[in-house]
Chain A
Amino acid sequence: MRKTIGLGLAALAFSAGAALAQQKSVTIAVSIPAATHGWTGGVVYHAEETAKLLEKGYPGLKVIVKTSPNGAAQANALEDLMTQKVDALVVLPFNSDELTNSVREVKKRGTFVTVVDRGLKDASIQDVYVAGNNPEFGRVSGKYFADTLKTGNVVVLRGIPTVIDEERVSNFEKALEGSGVKVVDKQYANWNRDDAFRVMQDFLQKHPKIDAVWASDDDMALGVMEAVRQAKRDDIKFVLGGAGMKDMVKRVMDGDKMIPANVSYPPAMVATAMGITAAHFYSNAPMRGTYVLNAQLITKDNAKDHYFPNSPF
């Protein structure tokens, strides 16, 4: 994760000299979901921190960060942003279907468009795409189970029924193929702690032997752990969450047996996207293309690289 921030800062340092001479004025608008879940809270935190950093580094740069509570509100927010003079838009869309047209309108005005995490339906709209890698997230998680567990029963807690969740879970299962690890049950728990507690309680009733749990998200992992603790079941060897919540990364760092690892899906990807976008205006080389941030396995060895004590997430 430090690498991703590093990418932004490197671009910043590289172009600063050239920019100073030109004294131009650039406005970048950032449209992201409001902080309604831990992960999006992290996105907001990183976007705001990066905005301060970039404005300090690039003279004449103005960054407007705008959060929206749902897809329709985000479409409205985009329209509002466009009434101001905006040179570039960094957008983390709520969902691709709803917002593709809104972003297309923005693009038509000649605005530079950077899309983060969730790709648009029409890839030709975006100049830069910074993508989290959901299939990779599932694959890395699955591989961890296959490697450490080798054989045994696993239960899976899914998120909210979305493409993201589907990509993660199907690739998780694909990664288990050929190993002795078997998914004995999976249910939706909506990336929500309380729902995860409830589903896990029922899993524990239903399955007399569970070797490990893929909670697929750190919020859900916390609910799962309470249920396991209450049931006093010692057959469960570990719980794997995901997304790199600071509390969980800390436990990995501290060597907690139940939480031996985590898989990153960094909310800081928005910082990368903002850095690349700023670099487009202040460096000589125009930025184009797709940047995929791979999901990384976080273990005790590299945990401190992923630990941000000041982030709310």
Chain B
Amino acid sequence: MPSAPELGPASAVPVLRADHVSRSFGPIEVLADVSFALNAGEVHAVIGENGAGKSTLMRILSGHLAPSRGGLVLDGASVTLAGPVDAERRGIVLIHQEILLADDLTIAQNLFLGREVRRGGLVDDAAMRRRAAQVLAELGSVLPPDTRVRRLSIAERQFVQIARALLVPHRVVIFDEPTAVLTPVESERLFAVIRRLRASGAAVLYISHRLPEVKAIADRITVLRDGRLVAARAMDGLEPIDMARLMVGRDMSKLYPEIPPAPAGDPVLSVDGARVPGFVDDVSFTLRRGEILGFGGLVGAGRTELFEGVMGLRPFSGTVTVEGRRTRFRDAAEAFRAGLAYVTEDRKGRGLLLGQNLRTNLTLAALKRFTRGSAIQVGAEERALDAAIRDFDIRARRPDLLASQLSGGNQQKLLLAKMMLLEPRIVVIDEPTRGVDIGTKEQIYRFIAGLAAKGCAVVVISSEMPELIGLCHRVIVMRNGRVAGEVSGSRMSEDAIVFLATGVHEDEAARIAAGEATTGEAAQGAGHA
């Protein structure tokens, strides 16, 4: 990849400026008097905990939401955005966190969906394919434009989504937590795209929880806390730990809790010769009381499918022994009865009923505990919700909210609370901190450590290596549906895990992904917190 020379701010006038912007929902002010500026040729990161006002700010900048007070200034002139379409017309594009593509259309069809190239009243497929191939190539992808989106990986879909956004003339590009679903290698490829955007003179707004990558990619950061701007400064010399302190407002030097030493009891769960057709081939492992066992590997390595198979949620063969008894679960209810619980990675698709309230969600899996005869005891449910809100620190403006109205971190806490109502002895948590802020992360880590200390056996599936290393007694790494190896104790390092997960060493992987020219920076970018 040819590397363009770094440009400084292209001109004295910022491309887009927020001028004393506030926003209230009813009596609650979620954004208070925030001013900041986006410069051309600069990557500007906005960081903050969940609920700090990041997404509100982002929605105001992209025309999805109007400010209650204050205004936007585009190229030095005050502007009112009529909506996202108007914003796009003015060159402000937002790249959504959720993948918003039509699964059954091809890449090219998706890129041009709603703005098809026409010739004589008919769509000009050939022209759209050509243009799509060109845009994809500019982003450094070799995906054939005729591939159906359904067949793409999550990371590939995200590239398509970015390509779609960049198809229109753009001057301000807003990324909303783009790496939440990406592996380190894939993230590195995304950073290359962002650097090209910066080189081409676009102003990039980057929103993320992952502070190491913010350090790697951003030139300038703005920190929000409780709807207020608490810091705005250039990146120079700022370390992730400093950013965390600014975000949370206190010392974050201890992200990971003290983990009690690995126990040496009898195994409570052993899985032998596990197979899930198409995903998992001959995986065996054991889990002890009080142990935290990590499962590492790339997205698609078969970790999620393995445990869904064990739980009776997928076709599965192999032997499962729980507390000395050989067993086979036909559905999740049977696994629950045996003392297992699985906290899914897909909390929106499989974890929570987004259109239902918190109480309904909380008690759904353990509803039996809340029925007398066949009648549900709403009072008992309410008490359980109060307890969950307190114990898990679920921050809901009102308890009659719908699950969809919670932030990602609070949804995750609700999901954890829901599965804990089953009082499980074996807990499998899949991507425990995906898409949650650093404060919540710390809470979840401490919760997991507490579970193990109480004698639960815990499995943590994670794509974040620092998390596995900081939390687990040992880590099993999977690759292509098989166990690639196991690391524990002093041998636990990111490099060892990446090596097992990919078959190549980390710096080498980063070099392959990012291209030779950015080698040094890239290795640092995927680097250590």
Q: Do chains A and B touch in the complex (CB under 8 A)?
A: no
Binding site for B on A (CB under 8 A): none
Binding site for A on B (CB under 8 A): none
